[in-house]
Amino acid sequence: MSKQTKATKRPLTGEIGTQSAGPGTAAPKPAAAKKAAAKKTAAKTASKKTAAKSAVPAKAASEKAVSAKASSKKAVSAKAAPRKAAKPESHLAMVRRARKINRELADVYPYAHPELDFRNPFELLVATVLSAQTTDLRVNQTTPALFAKYPTPEDLAAAVPEEVEELIRPTGFFRAKTKSIMGLATALRDEFGGEVPGRLEDLVKLPGVGRKTAFVVLGNAFGVPGITVDTHFMRLARRWKWTESDDPVKIEAEVAEIFPKSDWTMLSHRVIFHGRRICHARKPACGACPITHLCPAYGEGETDPEKAKKLLKYEKGGFPGQRLNPPPDYPGRPAPPLGATS
């Protein structure tokens, strides 16, 4: 090889230690181009992340909408579907429940008794007539003076009406009541030898005496069983589904079919006791009631136990009873005389 040839030979690359790219290989990118490419790649990555983030709430909203739609359909379907009615209580089941109520009330009120003070059938008859449209307590506070002055039917039949009116004024409706008690006293004197009859058909003929009054007298003065359908008994018999009637005579007949005759008088006392002390007309003390498990009307009154306790009356609430002279086994306090503070 000549010297000229050696002198003119050029290196294959412009930099020492770097080989030139072979055929088919792309030439290396300058530094600026690499930087631009990196930015572009980063921008694409950021765009994908943003799109993914925005897709999450959109997906959640879509799923929520589908769920809401399904719930709506389910609600419409439930509303459209007829609700399964509770199985009605059979007559036999009602009778069993009613008798169980009577047994449990006997445990709650073993001292149940007529809440009118009386010493003989005549006093009980007059006191029961006077108890219409007032409380037994007010009658008990009134009758001591009345019976002190007119102890027999003959005495009351011969009384001056205005004097009787003044004595019984505290019981209300005193003019009509004077007419009734003087009328029945006259009938006892003239038709029954001054004695109170012991038969229903005779008692209901007396002025001011209906079936309720007659059964009070028969059951408590003569030992003849009877159901006393007063306002308390009527209310509870309906609440407990013993009857749907509001006619006292029909209620008496329907309840009489549920219970044996021997239970009638004491059943009346227990139901009336419960109605006066716990199962009140306007606000029953449901939370303090011992027979809620047997009562289909539970919840009509106050169900909170502490609040219900404040609604209890007479001995159940720690107050005096209605009688000035209660029976020896009565657990409460005697009522105060007329004009005295309790």
Question: Using CA atoms, how far apart are residues 248 and 268, in angstroms rounded to an integer?
Answer: 13
- Given 117, 177, 212, 316, which residue is catalytic? 212
What does the DSSP 8-state code read for residue 341?
A: -
Question: Using CA atoms, how far apart are residues 205 and 240, in angstroms rounded to an integer?
Answer: 33
Closest among 129, 106, 101, 95 to 266, alpha carbons compared: 106
Do residues 219 and 225 lie in contact, with contact meaning Cβ atoms separated by under 8 Å? yes
Do residues 217 and 124 lie in contact, with contact meaning Cβ atoms separated by under 8 Å? yes
Cβ neighbours of residue 203 closer than 8 Å, sequence gap 6 or more: 125, 196, 197, 209, 213, 214, 217, 218
Element (H, E) at 109: none
Closest among 37, 93, 45 to 241, alpha carbons compared: 93
Cα angle value 128/134/138 (rounded, 5°): 80
Question: Using CA atoms, how far apart are residues 94 and 91, in angstroms rounded to an integer?
Answer: 5
Q: Alpha helix (H) ranges present in 195-263?
A: 200-203, 211-221, 231-239, 248-258
- Given 177, 230, 263, 316, which residue is catalytic? 230
Q: Could you write out the DSSP letters of every residue in 137-193?
A: HHHHHHHHHHHHH--SHHHHHTS-HHHHHHHHGGGS-HHHHHHHHHHHHHHHHHHST
Cα angle value 330/331/334 (rounded, 5°): 70
- The dihedrals phi and psi of 226, each to the nearest 5 degrees, come to -165, 150
Do residues 320 and 332 lie in contact, with contact meaning Cβ atoms separated by under 8 Å? yes
Confirm whether 230 is a catalytic residue: yes
The residues that are catalytic are: 212, 230
